[in-house]
C-alpha cells in the first residue's frame, strides 16, 4: 500500500511539474512553440552590433502621401515610421520585443517579465519600473488597461481581434497586468498582446482617437516627432532620455539621432532621389533596374553599395487578387482558368531578366509549403470534413501553374486555358468570351501608381487573345488606399508576406469574420468554413509537427480556392545604400533589419 501511495504521489508531482496542472512562473521571454532560444541573461540579440556608433541622420523615402500620425486606426493614410515593421517602432514601444532570428519569440521591453500557464488561459505582464513615456511620466498598469480597451473599441480590426479574446483585465500589484482569456483565445494570444503598443492615458483623447490627426503623439519609444509637413515628410529625433536604451533587447538598435521619412508619389522619382544622395536607402524590387539601372558614378566608385541578403523566410504570395465579392470572380473554375493564363515564362524572360521563380505556394521555400509534398494522414484528417475543398492535384502535392514555352505565342498554353473555360460553361464567340449566362467577360486591374503596369499589361495581352476584356487603371496612393479599404476593385496586385509562424493575422486575410469589415486584409473576400477551421487548428497547435500540418492544410485550401493568381518571388533581398550607412554582418532569419543599421559618417 505504501508503494502504491508513494507511486501515486510521485505521479501527481510529475504531472504538476509538466502537465496541465503546472504552476505558471514569470519568465524573461515567451515563444509560440517550445522555449525562447536566448537565456534570461542574454546581452543582446545575435544579429545586432552592440557597439554600433550613434549619431547622424537616416533619410528614408516611401511612395505615396499621408494625412495622419495615428497608425492604429482605419481613418486616414498614416505616416510610415512611427510604428513600422520595416523602419521600426520608433515612437511607440510594445510590451515585449520580438526577436527576428526566431520563428516567434518575445523578450523584455516595457514588460520585464511574462507569465502564462500550460493551457495559456491567461497572460500576466510585469512592467519594468523604469519604463516611462517621452514626457517623463511612468508607464503604468492603468496605461496598459486603457490602451487595450481603446484599441479594442476604436483601432483597426486587426488589433480589435487580438484584444477581444480577453475576458478580464486586472491590475496586479504595482506593476502587473493580468489578462484572462475567453474561449476565443488561442496559444498565440499572449504573444500578440505582447506586440501591442502602449499609449499614455494622460495624453490620449479617447473620444477622438479614431479620427485622423497630425498632432505629434506621446509615446514611450526611442524617438519623438520633431517636424511634420503633411503629405511630404515626417522628421523624428532621438529622445535623449529614452528609458530602454541600455536594456539587452534594445542594444544595437535606434542608432540615428534623426530619422527623416520623405514621401514621393512616383517610384522612378524615388530612385532618382536616391541616385542624387537625397535619400540613403533604396529597397529594390525591380529586377530590370537592379540589373541595369545602377550604372551611375556613385556605384562605380563605391559610394553606393548594392547588398544582397539571404533570409530563411517562406516566399509569401505576390499576385493578382481576385475579388470574389464581384460576380465576375464568383466561379472557382473561372478563377482557376485565369491562374493558368498568366504567361510567367515570357514575363520572366522579357520583363525581369530571368531573375524570378514562379510561386507555387504561400510558403514556398520552407517546411510549411504544401508544394511537392503529398498530404499526410494528419492533414487528410484535418480536411476530411470538406472533401471537395482541395483539388486532387493539390492534395497530392503535384500541382503547379501552367507553363509556356516563353515565346509569347504558345498556342498549346492558350488552348489549355481556353479549354478549361469552355469546360466551365464559358463560350468564345468571335473575339468575345461570354460567361454561362451570356454576359461578356470583363474586369479591371486597379494599380497603385505605375509600378505594376508591365506585368498587368502582359496578363491583359494574354487574356485578350481569348476574348476577355481587361482594363488597367492606375491611381494615386490616396485613392488606391481608399478603394482598397472598401474593396472597391475587381483585381489588385498584392503581396502577402509570410513568416515562420503564421497565426491569427490569417483571420484578417482569409477568415469569414473579416470578409465584410472595411479595412481588413481579406482583399479576396474569402468566407470558407474549411479555412476558418484550419486557421483555428493552426493557432491552437502546441507542437511544431501539429502546427506544420495545419499550415500545409491552409496552404492547400488557399491554392484550391484560386483566390490569387500567383506571380513570382526571389529568395534574396536587394538593398542599395550609400556607403555612409552600414549594417551588422549577421543577417537574421527574417532578413535585414533597418533599425539595427547606423551611419558611419559622410
Q: Could you tell me which residues are beta bridge partners of residue 358? A: 568
H/E stretch holding 108 reads strand 105-108
Decide: 389 and 334 in contact? Cβ < 8 Å. no
CB-based contacts of 92, cutoff 8 Å, min separation 6 = 82, 83, 197, 198, 199, 217, 219, 220, 221
Cα separations in angstroms, 315 against 495, 497, 574: 10, 7, 14
Residue 430 confidence (pLDDT) above 60:
yes
Give CA–CA dist 205/491, Å, rounded: 38
Decide: 426 and 441 in contact? Cβ < 8 Å. yes
Residue 23 confidence (pLDDT) above 70:
no
> Of the candidates 516, 517, 558, which has an alpha carbon nearest to the alpha carbon of residue 158?
517
Q: What are phi and psi of 115, to 5 degrees?
A: -140, 140
The number of domains in the chain is: 2
Give CA–CA dist 171/163, Å, rounded: 16
Percent with pLDDT over 70 in the chain: 96
Residue 515 confidence (pLDDT) above 60:
yes
pLDDT number for residue 532:
97
Shared domain for 392 and 355, answered yes or no, is yes
Give CA–CA dist 295/318, Å, rounded: 28
pLDDT number for residue 602:
65
CB-neighbour burial class of residue 535 (10 A; exposed 0-12, middle 13-18, buried 19+): buried
Give CA–CA dist 537/534, Å, rounded: 5
pLDDT (tens digit, 9 = 90+) per residue, 580-596?
A: 999 999 999 999 999 99
H/E stretch holding 565 reads strand 564-566
DSSP secondary structure of 53-104? ---SEEEEEEES---BS-TTSSSS-BPTTSSBTTTB--S--BSEEE-TTSSS
Shared domain for 480 and 559, answered yes or no, is yes
Residue 14 confidence (pLDDT) above 70:
no
Residue 548 lies in a domain: yes
pLDDT number for residue 19:
39
Shared domain for 148 and 207, answered yes or no, is yes
Cell digits for 486? 472598401
Residue 109 lies in a domain: yes
Positive or negative, the CA dihedral 462, 466, 471, 477 is negative
Cell digits for 92? 511607440
Question: HSE on the CB side for 358, CA within 13 Å?
Answer: 19
pLDDT band for position 352 (cuts 50, 70, 90):
confident
Residue 5 lies in a domain: no
The mean per-residue pLDDT over the stretch 448-457 comes to 92
H/E stretch holding 417 reads helix 411-423
- Rounded to the nearest integer, the mean pLDDT of the chain is 93
Shared domain for 243 and 383, answered yes or no, is no
Decide: 444 and 489 in contact? Cβ < 8 Å. yes
Give CA–CA dist 308/457, Å, rounded: 29
Task: Quote the domain boundaries for residue 423.
Answer: 317-569
CB-based contacts of 504, cutoff 8 Å, min separation 6 = 161, 162, 186, 188, 189, 192, 539
> Of the candidates 272, 253, 104, 108, which has an alpha carbon nearest to the alpha carbon of residue 188?
104
Residue 38 lies in a domain: no
The mean per-residue pLDDT over the stretch 329-347 comes to 97
Single pTM value for the model:
0.75
Residue 6 confidence (pLDDT) above 80:
no
Shared domain for 397 and 269, answered yes or no, is no
pLDDT number for residue 21:
35
Shared domain for 141 and 58, answered yes or no, is yes
Residue 226 lies in a domain: yes
- In 109-232, at which residue ranges do the beta strands (DSSP E only) sit? 111-116, 122-127, 166-172, 176-181, 223-229
Decide: 441 and 434 in contact? Cβ < 8 Å. yes
H/E stretch holding 599 reads strand 598-599
3-state secondary structure 243-292: CCCCCHHHCCCCCCCEEEEEEECCHHHHHHHHHCCCCCEEEECCHHHHHH
SS3 (DSSP) at 122: strand
Q: Could you tell me which residues are beta bridge partners of residue 471? A: 444
SS3 (DSSP) at 178: strand
Cell digits for 540? 491552437
Residue 185 confidence (pLDDT) above 50:
yes
Shared domain for 489 and 593, answered yes or no, is no
Residue 279 confidence (pLDDT) above 70:
yes
pLDDT number for residue 7:
37
Give CA–CA dist 524/329, Å, rounded: 10
CATH of the domain at 576: 3.40.190.10
> Of the candidates 424, 445, 447, 446, which has an alpha carbon nearest to the alpha carbon of residue 434?
424
Shared domain for 555 and 602, answered yes or no, is no
Residue 13 lies in a domain: no
Residue 295 lies in a domain: yes
Q: Which range among 153-157, 158-162, 203-207, 285-289 shows the weakest confidence by mean pLDDT?
A: 285-289
Shared domain for 145 and 223, answered yes or no, is yes
CB-neighbour burial class of residue 582 (10 A; exposed 0-12, middle 13-18, buried 19+): middle
Shared domain for 335 and 298, answered yes or no, is no
pLDDT number for residue 15:
37
Decide: 111 and 126 in contact? Cβ < 8 Å. yes
Residue 13 confidence (pLDDT) above 90:
no
pLDDT (tens digit, 9 = 90+) per residue, 453-502?
A: 999 999 999 999 999 999 999 999 889 999 999 999 999 999 998 888 89
Residue 203 lies in a domain: yes
Cα separations in angstroms, 273 against 50, 291, 418: 31, 19, 45
Shared domain for 518 and 395, answered yes or no, is yes
Q: What are phi and psi of 49, to 5 degrees?
A: -100, 105
> How many other CB atoms are found less than 10 A from the CB of residue 142?
12
Cell digits for 94? 510594445
> How many other CB atoms are found less than 10 A from the CB of residue 312?
15
Give CA–CA dist 126/266, Å, rounded: 46
The mean per-residue pLDDT over the stretch 303-328 comes to 95
The residue whose grid cell reads 509637413 is 229
Give CA–CA dist 118/18, Å, rounded: 9
Shared domain for 149 and 276, answered yes or no, is yes
Alpha carbon distance, N-terminus to C-terminus of the chain: 82
pLDDT (tens digit, 9 = 90+) per residue, 86-130?
A: 999 999 999 999 999 998 999 999 999 999 999 999 999 999 999
Decide: 581 and 600 in contact? Cβ < 8 Å. yes
Question: HSE on the CB side for 69, CA within 13 Å?
Answer: 24
Amino acid at each position: 500500500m505504501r508503494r502504491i501511495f508513494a507511486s501515486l504521489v510521485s505521479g501527481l508531482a510529475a504531472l504538476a511539474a509538466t502537465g496541465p496542472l503546472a504552476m505558471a512562473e514569470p519568465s524573461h521571454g515567451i515563444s509560440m512553440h517550445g522555449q525562447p532560444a536566448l537565456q534570461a541573461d542574454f546581452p543582446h540579440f545575435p544579429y545586432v552590433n552592440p557597439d554600433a556608433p550613434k549619431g547622424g541622420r537616416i533619410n528614408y523615402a516611401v511612395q505615396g502621401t499621408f494625412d495622419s500620425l495615428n497608425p492604429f486606426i482605419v481613418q486616414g493614410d498614416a505616416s510610415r515610421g512611427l510604428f513600422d515593421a520595416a523602419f521600426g517602432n520608433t515612437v511607440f514601444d510594445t510590451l515585449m520585443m520580438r526577436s527576428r532570428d526566431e520563428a516567434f519569440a518575445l523578450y523584455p521591453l516595457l514588460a520585464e517579465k511574462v507569465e502564462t500557464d500550460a493551457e495559456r488561459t491567461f497572460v500576466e505582464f510585469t512592467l519594468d519600473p523604469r519604463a516611462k513615456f517621452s514626457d517623463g511620466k511612468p508607464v503604468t498598469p492603468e496605461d496598459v488597461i486603457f490602451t487595450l480597451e481603446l484599441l479594442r473599441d476604436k483601432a483597426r480590426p486587426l488589433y480589435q481581434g487580438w484584444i477581444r479574446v480577453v475576458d478580464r483585465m486586472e491590475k496586479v500589484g504595482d506593476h502587473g497586468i493580468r489578462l484572462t482569456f475567453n474561449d476565443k483565445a488561442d496559444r498565440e494570444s499572449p504573444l500578440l498582446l505582447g506586440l501591442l503598443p502602449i499609449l499614455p492615458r494622460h495624453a490620449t483623447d479617447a473620444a477622438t482617437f479614431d479620427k485622423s490627426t497630425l498632432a505629434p503623439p506621446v509615446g514611450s519609444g526611442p524617438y519623438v516627432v520633431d517636424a511634420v509637413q503633411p503629405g511630404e515628410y515626417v522628421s523624428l529625433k532621438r529622445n535623449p532620455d529614452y528609458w530602454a536604451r541600455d536594456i539587452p533587447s534594445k542594444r544595437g538598435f535606434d542608432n540615428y539621432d534623426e530619422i527623416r521619412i520623405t514621401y514621393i508619389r512616383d517610384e522612378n522619382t524615388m530612385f532618382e532621389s536616391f541616385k542624387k544622395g537625397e535619400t540613403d536607402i533604396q529597397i529594390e524590387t525591380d529586377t530590370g533596374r537592379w540589373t541595369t539601372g545602377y550604372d551611375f558614378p556613385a556605384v562605380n566608385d563605391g559610394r553606393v553599395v548594392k547588398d544582397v541578403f539571404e533570409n530563411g523566410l517562406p516566399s509569401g504570395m505576390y499576385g493578382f487578387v481576385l475579388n470574389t465579392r464581384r460576380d465576375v470572380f464568383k466561379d472557382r473554375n473561372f478563377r482557376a482558368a485565369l491562374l493558368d493564363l498568366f504567361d510567367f515564362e515570357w514575363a520572366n524572360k522579357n520583363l525581369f531578366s530571368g531573375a524570378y521563380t514562379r510561386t507555387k505556394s504561400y510558403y514556398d521555400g520552407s517546411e510549411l509549403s504544401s508544394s511537392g509534398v503529398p498530404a499526410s494522414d494528419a492533414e487528410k484528417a484535418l480536411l476530411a470534413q470538406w472533401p471537395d475543398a482541395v483539388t486532387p492535384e493539390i492534395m497530392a502535392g503535384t500541382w503547379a501553374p501552367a507553363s509556356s514555352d516563353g515565346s509569347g505565342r504558345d498556342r498549346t498554353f492558350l488552348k489549355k486555358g481556353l479549354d478549361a473555360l469552355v469546360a466551365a460553361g464559358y463560350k468564345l464567340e468571335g473575339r468575345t468570351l461570354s460567361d454561362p449566362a451570356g454576359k461578356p467577360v470583363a474586369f479591371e486591374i486597379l494599380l497603385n501608381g505605375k509600378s505594376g503596369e508591365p506585368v498587368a499589361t502582359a496578363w491583359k495581352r494574354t487574356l485578350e487573345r481569348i476574348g476577355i476584356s481587361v482594363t488597367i487603371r492606375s491611381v494615386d496612393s490616396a485613392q488606391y488606399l481608399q478603394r482598397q479599404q472598401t474593396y472597391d476593385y475587381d483585381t489588385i496586385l498584392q503581396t502577402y508576406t509570410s513568416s515562420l509562424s503564421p497565426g491569427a493575422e490569417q483571420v484578417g486575410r482569409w477568415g469569414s469574420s473579416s470578409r465584410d469589415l472595411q479595412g481588413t486584409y481579406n482583399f479576396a473576400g474569402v468566407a470558407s468554413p474549411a479555412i476558418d477551421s484550419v486557421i483555428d487548428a493552426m493557432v491552437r497547435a502546441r507542437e511544431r509537427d501539429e502546427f506544420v500540418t495545419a499550415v500545409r492544410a491552409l496552404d492547400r485550401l488557399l491554392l484550391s480556392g484560386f483566390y490569387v493568381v500567383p506571380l513570382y518571388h526571389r529568395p534574396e533581398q536587394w538593398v542599395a545604400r550609400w556607403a555612409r550607412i552600414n549594417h551588422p554582418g549577421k543577417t537574421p532569419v527574417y532578413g535585414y533589419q533597418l533599425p539595427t543599421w547606423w551611419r558611419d559618417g559622410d
